A and B are shown apart, each in its own frame.
Chain A
Amino acid sequence: MIAVVDYGMGNVASVRNALALLGAEAIITARAEDFERATHIILPGVGAFPDGMRELWERGLIPVLRREVLENQKPFLGICLGMQLLAEAGEEGGDTKGLGFIAGKTRKLTVAGLRLPHIGWDDVTSAPGARLFADIDSRDFYFVHSYVMEPADSAAIAATCTYGEAFAAAVQKDNIFGVQFHPEKSQKAGIAVLRNFINL
C-alpha cells in the first residue's frame, strides 16, 4: 500500500489517478498509522517551501516520516515541492529548515533573462543507474517550478535538466527519491517513472 502525504499543498488527485492507472493500492492520508502500514510513501505538492514545512509540522508528520523513511528505509518519492523539501534548507521566503533527508539546499533557479516559473515539457538526462528512469525511452517531462533542490553531493543527482542552468531534475539516495517534474502529468514517461518507483 502506498501512502500519499495529504498536507494541503496542491491537488493530489492526479497523483492518485496515476497510481490507480498502475493498479496500485494508494491512500491519501495524514495519519501516522497509515505511514507505518505503507510499503511506499509519496510526498507530492505544489507551493512554497515554508508553507510546505509548516503544514507537515502542524499535522505532526515530521517524526513519522523520519522514522519510516530514515530508520525503516521505506521507498520515498518527493514530487516537485516534495523533492525540494528533501533538502536541509530552503531559501524561498527566508531560510527555512527542510526535511534534510538529502544533504543540500533548495534555491531559486538562475535563469539569466528566461522566464520563471520554468513551465512546460523539457528534456531530462538521467544518470547511469538512476533507478526511476530504468527502461524509459522518452526524455521529456512536464515541469512547473521556480526553485530547485541542489544536493551537496553530486552523486545524489539522478537526472538533470537545463533551463538557464543545469539543475537536478531528479535525486536519489538509498531509498529516497525526488523528481522536480510532475510524473503524473508527463504522460507515458511519467507513468513509467511512477511504475519504477512502486516496483522498488
Chain B
Amino acid sequence: MTIKNERLVKSVRFSNHRNIGSYIAAVRVFNARDVDELIFLDLDASARGIRPDLLREVTKECFMPVTLGGGVRTLEDIQTLLTSGADKVSINTGALENPELIDAGAQRYGSQCIVVSIDVGEDVAGAVTWAKEAQTRGAGEILLTSISHDGVMEGYNLSLIEAVSKAVRIPVIACGGAGLPVHCVEAVVHGASAVAAASIFQYTQTTPQMIKKALADAGIPARL
C-alpha cells in the first residue's frame, strides 16, 4: 500500500498516482482477506516527515506482520516506526544516502526488522551490487521493485528477480507487475521468496487467497 496526501494511491511506473480511496478501509479489507503481510509506505514522509499518528491508525487494524516505510533516514526514524507498530522497517533513499544506516539499524534492532527497498530502472547490475552490499551490512530482506513493471500488471521483471535473488541469501520480495495469479507463481519460480502486489487487488477481482491457491497448486508452500 502506498499513501500520498493521506489517500491510498496506486502508480503506474512510479507516476500518475491514482487515488484509490481510504487506506483504513483498504487495510480492513486486507485484514479480512487474511493477507500474510502488509507493506505500508507513506510517499509523503520524505518531504513532510514521518507521521506516527497516521501509522498507528494503520497498525491498529493489522493482525498480521507489518512493514512500514517512507522517509526513514535515521535510527530515530526506525525507532519511531517500530513504536508505531511496525514489525519491520523499509529503508530506501535513506540507505542509499547513508548505507551505514543499515548496519546501525540491524545492530540495534536485529536484521529481521530491516528491509532494504530497492527501486530498479534499467541498471540490473547496479541493483545486484547494492543488494549484496545491503545484505553484508545486515539487511534482513530485500524489497525489489521494477519501476518499468510497476502498475502495468503484465507480470514481474523475472530477469531482475533472478539476478538479485541468485546474488543474495536473504529473502527477496518481488514487487511490481502482478496482474494474474500466475505472475506471482513465475516470480517465485524465478527466485523470489515472497511476492508483493497492489494493483491486482485494487483493479481486479483477484484475492490474496486466489494467488496463494495458485502458488500451492504449483507446489510452492503457501498459507491457505
Contacts and interface: CB of A to CB of B under 8 A. Distances in A.
B21 interface: no
A30 to B, nearest CB: 18
Interface stretch (B80-88, B90-98, B184-192): B80-88
Contact of B83 (A11, A115, A119, A138): A11
Interface stretch (B5-13, B58-66, B68-76, B198-206): B58-66
Nearest to B169: A115
Interface stretch (A13-21, A68-76, A100-108, A157-165): A13-21
A132 interface: no
A13 B85 contact: yes
Q: How large is the interface on B (under 10, 10 to 19, 20 to 34, 35 or more residues)?
A: 20 to 34
Contact of A140 (B63, B65, B223): B223
Interface string A133-168: 000001010101000000000000000000000000
Contact of B59 (A14, A138, A142, A191): A14
B162 interface: no
Among A138, A184, A187, residue most surrounded by chain B Cβ atoms (within 10 Å) = A187
A117 B112 contact: yes
A137 to B, nearest CB: 10
Contacts of A142: 64-65
B36 interface: yes
A186 B82 CA distance: 18
B34 interface: yes
A184 to B, nearest CB: 7
A185 B65 contact: yes
Given A121-B36, A140-B223, A11 B63 contact: no
A195 interface: no
Contacts of A184: 63
Contacts of B34: 187-188
A98 interface: no
B63 A190 contact: yes
A144 B82 CA distance: 15
Interface of A: 11, 13-14, 17-18, 21, 115, 117, 119, 121, 138, 140, 142, 144, 184-188, 190-191
14 contacts: A11-B82, A11-B83, A17-B63, A18-B63, A117-B112, A119-B112, A119-B140, A138-B223, A142-B64, A142-B65, A185-B65, A187-B64, A188-B34, A191-B63
Which 7 A/B pairs are nearest by Cβ-Cβ distance?
A140-B223, A121-B223, A119-B112, A187-B34, A185-B65, A187-B64, A17-B60
